[in-house]
């Protein structure tokens, strides 16, 4: 078991080295290694609990979290987080943060999404929280074999002798030292999230104004109307929009369909959302809890992503038509 603990500290030490370089590229590697170290510990917790739970079959009362444990043992990261919340000493806020950060890790690694402006403070935050949680892990004994060799990176965290390299508390102390070294600052994190939040809103604000201004004379509309038009054009071509029109017996051309959708489709947002979004940024800036700030940022990003994408696409189409009109005027 000492080798398992050493492997975790070795990986965290390497993650810290990358994060400490202070650039986005290395922060990306650090975040991924942090996530992997945490997942290894979460899986080990399920293995330990599974071993313990085997003895419950001989007791009068079965292990109350057996179903969650089985799912966590064979399941994915979210399943392991769910189990750690009920029988792994993981706080709800920490579990939520770990779930969000695991999604970002997947986006950074699989989808290639960068999150450049927030990547470094996020990597520091994830590392600090992961170290804090991992330090609570209690191994079932400290086994060591004479043929085993301590990883070089991990040696500095263990204080035992030559024949038995570890002492009780070494792993916990190592995690604490790593956490302290990463330099996470909650104010820096919240500022970075709020700044990126504001940038997203500013970009959307610009695009919405382009749509509202229109392309040709007489096409200018209010920003509220631009929101409805954008969503109507977006939904008109998907199954939900087609079903909505069909269920109401709609008959007409595409422009009639757009007008019908603008008037009656149950869009969640029916007016210019920018003022309310800007108020959300101001509230975020007043937070003093990193978990809460990350949760607000994440929820906003997820809930508004389809609308923001539709606005961006409509604005791009308007700008393309403006450029085409200019070219036609020049005889191109």
221-258 b/e (C-beta count within 10 Å ≥ 16 → b): eebeebbbbbbbbbbbeeeebeebbeeeeeeeeeeebb
Residues 6+ apart with CB under 8 A from 227: 208, 269, 270, 271, 272, 273, 311
Could you give the angle at which helices 186-213 and 116-134 cross, rounded to 10 degrees? 150
Phi, psi of 160 (to 5 degrees): -80, -175
Residues 274, 205 contacting (CB under 8 angstroms): yes
**Strand locations in the chain (E):** none
Number of H helices, E strands in the chain: 13, 0
Q: Nearest 5°: CA angle at 145, between 141 and 146?
A: 145
Q: 34 by DSSP, 3-state: which?
A: helix
Q: What is the pLDDT of residue 59?
A: 66
Q: What is the Cα gyration radius of the chain?
A: 26
Instruction: Provide the residue count of the chain.
Output: 332
Q: What is the pLDDT of residue 61?
A: 78
Residue ranges per domain, the chain?
2-183, 189-329
Residue 187 to residue 285: CA distance in whole angstroms: 9
Check the CA dihedral 129-132-134-137 and report its sign: negative
pTM listed for this prediction: 0.91
Residues 6+ apart with CB under 8 A from 310: 230, 231, 233, 234
Residues 184, 126 contacting (CB under 8 angstroms): no
Q: What is the pLDDT of residue 111?
A: 45
Q: Per-residue pLDDT for the chain (332 aa), expressed as one digit of tens each? A: 899 999 999 999 999 999 999 999 999 999 999 999 999 999 999 999 988 877 666 666 778 898 999 999 999 999 999 999 999 999 999 999 999 999 998 886 544 455 678 999 999 999 999 999 999 999 988 888 877 888 999 999 999 887 898 999 999 999 999 999 999 999 999 999 999 999 999 999 999 999 999 999 999 999 999 999 999 999 999 999 999 999 999 999 999 999 999 999 999 999 999 999 999 999 998 999 999 999 999 999 999 999 999 999 999 999 999 999 888 888 86
Q: What is the pLDDT of residue 60?
A: 66
Check the CA dihedral 212-213-214-217 and report its sign: positive
Residue 63 to residue 65: CA distance in whole angstroms: 6
């Amino acid at each position: 078991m000492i080798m398992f603990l050493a492997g975790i500290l070795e990986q965290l030490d390497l993650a810290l080295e990358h994060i400490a370089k202070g650039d986005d590229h290395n922060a990306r590697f650090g975040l991924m290694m942090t996530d992997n170290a945490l997942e290894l510990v979460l899986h080990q917790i399920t293995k330990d609990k599974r071993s313990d739970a085997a003895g419950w079959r001989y007791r009068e009362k079965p292990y109350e979290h057996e179903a969650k444990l089985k799912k966590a043992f064979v399941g994915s990261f979210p399943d392991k987080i769910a189990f750690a919340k009920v029988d792994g000493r993981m706080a709800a806020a920490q579990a939520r943060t770990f779930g969000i950060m695991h999604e970002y890790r997947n986006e950074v690694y699989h989808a290639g999404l960068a999150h450049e402006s927030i990547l470094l403070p996020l990597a520091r935050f994830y590392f600090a929280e992961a170290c804090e949680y991992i330090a609570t892990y209690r191994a079932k004994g400290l086994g060591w074999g004479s043929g085993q060799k301590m990883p070089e990176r991990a040696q500095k965290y263990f204080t035992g002798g030559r024949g038995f390299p570890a002492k009780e508390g070494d792993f916990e102390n190592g995690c604490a030292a790593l956490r302290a070294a990463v330099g996470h600052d909650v104010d820096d994190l919240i500022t970075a999230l709020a700044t990126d939040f504001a940038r997203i809103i500013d970009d959307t604000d610009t695009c919405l104004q382009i749509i509202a201004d229109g392309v040709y004379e007489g096409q200018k509309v209010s920003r509220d109307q631009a929101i409805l038009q954008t969503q109507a054009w977006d939904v008109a071509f998907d199954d939900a929009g087609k079903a909505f029109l069909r269920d109401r017996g709609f008959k007409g051309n595409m422009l009639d369909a757009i007008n019908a959708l603008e008037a009656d489709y149950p869009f969640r947002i029916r007016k210019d959302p920018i003022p309310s979004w800007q108020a959300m940024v101001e509230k975020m800036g007043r937070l003093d809890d990193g978990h809460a700030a990350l949760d607000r940022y994440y929820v906003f990003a997820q809930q508004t992503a389809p609308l923001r994408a539709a606005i961006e696409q409509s604005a791009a189409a308007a700008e393309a038509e403006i450029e085409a009109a200019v070219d036609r005027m020049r005889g191109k």
